[in-house]
Amino acid sequence: MIVIRKADGNDIKSVYELEKKCFKDPYPEIVLRMLYELYPELFLVAEDSETKAIIGYVSGMIRVDGFGHIVSICVDQNYRRRGIGKRLMEAIENVMHKIFSVCMFRLEVRVSNIPAIKLYESLGYRVEAILKNYYLDGEDGYLMTKKLC
């Protein structure tokens, strides 16, 4: 069984190991820790209840313009297409809405990242703008947004 729960400080190392497997330009561990310390309620992990391994995470923040911003999400390759990414997204949106009264969500994604784009579209996100040369390697990004209320 996969449990979605709030991260604790001891999870950040495992999240960093996962982050390195998921992204070619991973966030440094110190940035992950900073995100966790800024918004601990918005740093969620997916844990395999049998092995206790952290196999997914999502983190977010609340912007000054009121948008809930999904900063990062990833799921271990061996656990993909089982609905865990969707559960993580729904869980963080729920916390943003219930605790921070957020009605609008936003995120950025590489234009080539079809799995992520499909996930976000399935949750109601739509492309709002193209962000030219947004990533370090020059790839464009999409700004995607979702209005809840």
Q: Which residues bind ligand COA (CB under 6 A)?
A: 22, 73-75, 80-86, 109, 113-116, 118-119, 122
Nearer to ligand COA, 5 or 101 (CB): 5
Min dist CB 79 to ligand COA, Å, is 7
Which is closer to ligand COA, CB of 101 or CB of 140? 140
Residues near 126 by Cβ (< 8 Å), separated by ≥ 6? 144, 145, 146
**Min. distance of Cβ 6 from ligand COA in angstroms?**
19
Give the CA angle between residues 50, 92, 13 to the nearest 5°. Answer: 50
Q: Find the shortest distance in angstroms from Cβ 109 to ligand COA.
A: 4
H-helix or E-strand spanning residue 47: strand 43-48
Number of neighbouring beta carbons within 10 Å of residue 83: 12
Q: C-beta of 26: minimal distance to ligand COA in Å? A: 10
Gyration radius of the chain's alpha carbons = 15
CB-nearer residue toward ligand COA: 3 or 101:
3
